């Protein structure tokens, strides 16, 4: 008899470190890679893996995220499949989610209604490919209460992650530590550690009991990684799943095992730059494991003018439908739908989101431009960072970020 699995996607984070991109939307709803939203990556992994009963728990500024899920992620109702956004229902009183564990506790009715054997709990804001079925099978075979996905990282980077400390067998988790400065390496690989990917598979009873006990603890922060996993670790019931063992169809040696936490403006920008190389670090063109989305009814991209210094060109770039590159140059950039780059403009090393217009002779360099921004003729962004810091957001590494609909100074 086939096991029953329910997938829960945690999509309620504010994403404060991605401001101004999250000023008007939830972090998982932030556009990524031209035509996608961040949440499309986890939902695509679940769908490709055959898990087609999915609830998405939302909270902050969720309208655009809810709309995207509703318009894009439609499963066969004939077969009982669904992807549905679920806001904080306040079933237990007039309060919002107090943390990721509390979000599940307040949504136990969803688990009770579906009555699954196992529950997948994945985050919504990471960029990666993964076959979750392999992780579920590993969890079932282990008999553990919870299995935590771990990605190998250099030991020297332990202070940047939640670190999974494993026993000598390499499987059982003996400690779950948040950004420690001193750690032991892995058995057989002393220079590596397991960083938590924020992806978990639970036996249903263990999850329900753990979040219920956590809800009764007034000192808890009600966090999955900070409270629920350590609770099960203390009982000796938590195992790690090595992401390196996950075999995704169509992956190349270059992009196999890719995973990005795009929690900062710089990591968001760097993840985009990973897409555009001739042999990309993360390959969006793997059609054996597609990333699904809906980007509307835009016409094909168009490149116009081709004489003297007025030539529409794009080099080492991803150009979405509906884009017009008119007598201008786009280099090492990701251009979203319905963008126009006008004559003699130069866009370089940038992420341009939907509906942006780049005026004639404008320069946009090392920037992230959010939706519906009009860049006036001759404007210069990313050229003088001292000036840009007075007008826009500039990241630690010097990436200029212009918010949604923000006015640009000529």
Check: CB of residue 135 under 8 Å from CB of residue 197: no
236 and 180 housed in the same domain? yes
Q: What is the pLDDT of residue 94?
A: 61
Question: Based on the domain organization, do 150 and 105 belong to the same domain?
Answer: yes
Q: Please report the pLDDT score of residue 95 as a whole number.
A: 65
User: Closest Cα partner for 264 from 399, 389, 406, 62?
Assistant: 399
State how many domains the chain has. 2
Burial (CB count <10 Å: 0-12, 13-18, 19+), residue 396:
exposed
Q: Going by C-beta distance under 8 Å and a sequence separation of 6 or more, which residues neighbour residue 94?
A: none
Query: Is 179 marked within a binding site?
Result: yes
Domain boundary among 231, 261, 276: 276
Specify whether 209 is located in the same domain as 130. Answer: yes
Binning pLDDT at 50, 70 and 90, where does residue 91 land?
A: low
Note the pLDDT tens digit of each residue in 301-319. 999 988 888 999 999 999 9
Is 282 inside a domain boundary?
Answer: no
Residue 125 lies in a domain: yes
pLDDT score, position 83? 94
Concatenating the DSSP letter of every residue in 253-314 gives TTTTT-EEE--SHHHHHHHHHTTSSSS-SS-TT-TTSPPP----SPPPPEEE-EETTEE-EE
Residues 172 and 258 reside in one and the same domain: yes
Residue 345: name the closest of 327, 366, 319 by CA.
327
Give the number of other Cβ atoms within 10 Å of residue 129's Cβ.
26
- pLDDT for position 28: 92
The position carrying tokens 């919870």 is 146
Find the range with the poorest average confidence among 11-20, 129-138, 310-319, 398-407: 11-20
Distance of alpha carbon 185 from alpha carbon 215, whole angstroms:
34
Beta-bridge partner residues of 155: none
> Per the structure block, which two tokens stand in for 189?
């690989």
Distances (CA, A) of 398 to 203, 385, 388: 45, 7, 10
The label of the residue with tokens 């079933």 reads 91
DSSP string, 159-217: GGSEEEEE-TTSSBEEEEEES-SS---BTTBTTEEEEEEEEEEEEHHHHHHHHHHHHT-
The tokens for 275 are: 């897409």
Determine whether the annotation assigns residue 62 to a binding site.
no
Confidence (pTM): 0.93
Residue 283 lies in a domain: no
pLDDT bin (cut points 50, 70, 90) of residue 221 is confident
Query: 349 and 200 in one domain?
Result: no
Q: Do 381 and 311 belong to one domain?
A: yes
242 and 332 housed in the same domain: no
Q: What is the CATH number of the domain that holds 326?
A: 2.160.10.10
Cα–chain-centroid distance for residue 151? Answer: 15
Compute the radius of gyration of the chain from its Cα atoms: 22
Confidence grade of residue 96 (pLDDT, cut at 50, 70, 90): low
Q: Is the pLDDT of residue 1 over 60?
A: no
For 115-157, what is each residue's pLDDT tens digit?
Answer: 999 999 999 989 999 999 999 999 999 999 999 999 999 988 8
For 19-144, list the strands marked E by DSSP: 31-32, 36-37, 53-58, 82-86, 118-123, 126-128
* More confident: 279 or 45: 45
Domain stops at, among 276, 311, 332: 276
* Whether residue 336 sits in one domain with residue 269: no
The annotation status of 336 as a binding-site residue, yes or no, is no
| pLDDT tens per residue, range 338-397 | 999 999 999 999 999 999 999 999 999 999 999 999 999 999 999 999 999 999 999 999
**CATH number of 153's domain:** 3.90.550.10
Is 285 contained in some domain? no
Question: Residue 396's pLDDT is what?
Answer: 94
| Calpha distance 321→318 (Å, rounded) | 10
| CA–CA dist 365, 374 (Å, integer) | 15
Look at residue 288 and tell me if it is in a domain: no
Do 262 and 307 fall within a single domain? no
Confidence of residue 229 (pLDDT cuts 50, 70, 90): very high
pLDDT of residue 174: 92
Mean pLDDT of the chain: 92
Determine the length of the chain: 410
Structure tokens at 300: 């094909």
Boundary of a domain, candidates 259, 276, 293: 276
Contacts 24+ apart (CB under 8 A), 168-173: 170/240, 171/142, 171/239, 171/240, 172/236, 172/238, 172/239, 172/240, 173/148, 173/229, 173/233, 173/238, 173/239, 173/240
Is the separation of the CB atoms in 233 and 226 below 8 Å? no
Q: Is residue 190 part of a domain?
A: yes
Which is nearest to 89 in space by CA: 75, 104, 68, 78? 104
Residue 85, in any domain of the structure: yes
Domain-embedded: residue 297: no
- Find the helix or strand (DSSP H, E) in which 383 lies: none
89 and 166 within one domain = yes
- Structural tokens at position 65: 């995220």
Same domain, 20 and 63: yes
On the question of pLDDT at 180 being above 90, the answer is no
The boundaries of the domain holding residue 315 are 302-402
Q: Are 54 and 199 in the same domain?
A: yes
């Amino acid at each position: 008899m086939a096991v029953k699995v329910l997938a829960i996607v945690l999509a309620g984070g504010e994403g404060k470190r991605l401001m101004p991109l999250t000023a008007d939307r939830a972090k998982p709803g932030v556009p990524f890679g031209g035509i996608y939203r961040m949440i499309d990556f986890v939902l695509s992994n679940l769908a490709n893996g055959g898990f087609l009963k999915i609830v998405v728990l939302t909270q902050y500024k969720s309208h655009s995220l809810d709309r995207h899920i509703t318009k894009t992620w439609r499963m066969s109702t004939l077969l009982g499949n669904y992807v549905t956004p679920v806001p904080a229902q306040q079933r237990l009183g007039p309060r919002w989610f107090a943390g990721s564990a509390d979000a599940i506790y307040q949504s136990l009715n969803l688990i009770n209604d579906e009555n699954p054997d196992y529950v997948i709990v994945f985050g919504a804001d990471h960029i990666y490919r993964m076959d979750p079925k392999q992780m579920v099978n590993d969890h079932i075979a282990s008999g553990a209460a919870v299995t935590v996905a771990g990605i190998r990282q250099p030991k020297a980077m332990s202070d940047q992650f939640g670190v999974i400390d494993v026993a000598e067998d390499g499987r059982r988790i003996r400690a779950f530590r948040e950004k420690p400065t001193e750690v032991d390496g892995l058995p057989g690989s002393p220079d590596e550690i397991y960083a938590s990917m924020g992806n978990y598979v639970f036996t249903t009873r263990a999850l329900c009991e753990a979040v219920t006990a956590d809800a009764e603890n007034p000192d808890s922060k009600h966090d999955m990684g900070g409270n629920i996993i350590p609770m099960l670790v203390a009982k000796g019931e938590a195992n790690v799943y090595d992401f390196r063992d996950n075999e995704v169809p169509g992956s190349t040696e270059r992009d196999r095992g890719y995973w990005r936490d795009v929690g900062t403006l710089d990591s968001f920008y760097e993840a985009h730059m990973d897409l555009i190389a001739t042999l990309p670090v993360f390959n969006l063109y793997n059609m054996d494991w597609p990333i699904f989305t809906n980007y509307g009814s835009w016409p094909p991209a168009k490149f116009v003018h081709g004489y003297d210094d007025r030539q529409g060109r794009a080099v080492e770039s991803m150009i979405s439908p509906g884009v017009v590159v008119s007598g201008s140059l786009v280099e090492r950039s990701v251009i979203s739908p319905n963008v126009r780059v006008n004559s003699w403009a130069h866009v370089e090393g940038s992420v341009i989101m939907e509906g942006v217009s780049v005026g004639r002779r404008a320069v946009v360099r090392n920037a992230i431009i959010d939706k519906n921004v009009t860049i006036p003729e001759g404007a210069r962004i990313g050229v003088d960072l001292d000036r840009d810091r007075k007008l826009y957001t500039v990241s630690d590494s010097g990436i200029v970020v212009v918010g949604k609909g923000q006015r640009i100074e000529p």
